[in-house]
Amino acid sequence: MTSKIHTILSIETSCDETAAAVVIDGHKVSSSVVSSQIPIHQRFGGVVPEIAARAHVEQILTVIESALNEAFGKNPQQKLQDSVDAIAVTSSPGLVGSLLVGVNTARTLARVFDKPLIPVNHTLGHVYSNFIGHTPNFPFLTLVASGGHTDLILSKSHGSHQVIGRTRDDAAGEAFDKAAQILGLSYPGGPAIGKVAVNGSGSAYPLPRAMMHQDNLDFSFSGLKTALLILVEDLKASGKNIESLVPNLAASFQQAVIDSLIDRTIKAARITGVEQINLAGGVAANLALRDALEQKTKADHLQFHVPNLEYCTDNAAMIGAAAYYATLEKRDFNWYNVNVEREPKLCL
Ligand code: KG4
Ligand code: ZN
């Protein structure tokens, strides 16, 4: 079935970024605007759901208008009417109050401007971040490592995506955020740890790599976080100055996460026979992980792809990309069928 939808206005508000984008044919980004709430949540050391929802309400219309202006120039209202074929929005999973802001804004725009409205699963959005400026061949595996998820997803076609491994407890990004708190670093923890780890050694402290010898493709990061906490407490009790040890502690923690992520991903490729590995999600912005997975896949004669940094952390362009491919599978996208999903489904 050929789709008549080419230009999509997409909206993402599942966590702490208010984002909108204009994406053409699923791979060409005309504009991608992200308003981050990091400065608002930083003093709490994590995202406060009520404050996040409120900030989305304050930002959403300005962010959408900026995305339309950037893509088309002046007169966003007219451009939305004339040049946008459909609207897409993240409908799950995420913080319910935050999702509701994006979904209700999108429903209203779709109703007023009489456009199809395409609901998109956020995790699948991360999978499709690898379609921006690039076309992966099926089948492929995606390691989605973010603040809320650590999933290994096997994609056989635009209509077939299966989670074949997932975290049993904390997500990789969540582990970075908690480790940063233990080390006295700022929120979000991933970028903070990545920065100081550059000056440390990944083998300075022996930290656990859970699940590596188990007969499945799952991850676990809560034991690693506890091991880091105990190590730091022991070092403090023996009179050590923690501040001077932070680069080595951060690098050792980061290396343990990277080793776990790579081990499962390569094992998944071996088991499924899939040769294309994609990396996605906020943790994919980690330069050491990008480098290490690139090296490992090269050594194992596998193909590797990772999006530009701006499309790893939450953004709306990936939602527009996923939505476009959804239109190749399905035709009927009415605003009144779109709501925040109570039970997220990994499908288009
Ligand atoms: O995908 P994302 O923006 O939001 C979710 O869907 O959760 O991911 C955010 C997570 C945070 O936990 C953050 O610490 C982590 O991604 N992150 C990183 C880096 N940049 C963001 N983790 C490791 N290294 C980074 N450079
Ligand atoms: Zn995300």
pLDDT in tens, 69-109: 999 998 999 999 999 999 999 999 999 999 999 999 999 99
Which residues have CB under 6 Å of ligand 1? 15, 146-148, 173-174, 176-177, 188-191, 194, 281-283, 285-286, 313-314
User: What is the C-alpha to C-alpha distance for residues 151 and 138, in angstroms, rounded to an integer?
Assistant: 18
86 Cβ contact partners less than 8 Å away, ≥ 6 residues apart: 5, 7, 8, 9, 115, 116, 117, 118, 323, 327, 333
Say yes or no to pLDDT of 233 above 50. yes
- The neighbourhood of ligand 2, an ion, using CB within 5 A, equals 146, 314
The Å distance, Cα 279 to ligand 1 centre, comes to 13
Q: What pairing do the DSSP bridges indicate for beta strands 276-280 and 303-305?
A: parallel
The letter for the amino acid at 231 is: L
Say yes or no to pLDDT of 308 above 90. yes
Confidence at residue 168, expressed as pLDDT on a 0 to 100 scale? 95
The Å distance, Cα 16 to ligand 2 centre, comes to 10
Which tokens is 207 given? 């930290």
Confidence at residue 253, expressed as pLDDT on a 0 to 100 scale? 98
User: What is the C-alpha to C-alpha distance for residues 334 and 323, in angstroms, rounded to an integer?
Assistant: 13
Lowest-pLDDT choice from 52-66, 123-137, 201-215: 201-215
- Is the overall model pTM greater than 0.85, yes or no? yes
Most ligand 1 atoms within 8 A of CB, residue of 255, 283, 310, 312 to mutate: 283
The Å distance, Cα 220 to ligand 1 centre, comes to 17
The Å distance, Cα 147 to ligand 2 centre, comes to 7
Say yes or no to pLDDT of 210 above 70. yes
Output the residue whose Cα is nearest ligand 1's atom 19: 190
Output the residue whose Cα is nearest ligand 1's atom 3: 313
Confidence at residue 1, expressed as pLDDT on a 0 to 100 scale? 39
User: What is the C-alpha to C-alpha distance for residues 109 and 96, in angstroms, rounded to an integer?
Assistant: 20
User: What is the C-alpha to C-alpha distance for residues 238 and 233, in angstroms, rounded to an integer?
Assistant: 9
Confidence at residue 45, expressed as pLDDT on a 0 to 100 scale? 80
User: What is the C-alpha to C-alpha distance for residues 8 and 24, in angstroms, rounded to an integer?
Assistant: 6
Say yes or no to pLDDT of 288 above 90. yes
Atom of ligand 1 nearest to the CA of 313: 3
Say yes or no to pLDDT of 51 above 80. yes
Cα three-residue angle 39-130-123, rounded to 5 degrees: 60
Q: How far is CA 69 from CA 111, 210, 215, in A?
A: 21, 48, 51
The Å distance, Cα 283 to ligand 1 centre, comes to 5
Lowest-pLDDT choice from 230-234, 279-283, 289-293, 331-335: 331-335
Count Cβ atoms within 10 A of the Cβ of residue 136 and give its class: 0-12 exposed, 13-18 middle, 19 or more buried: middle
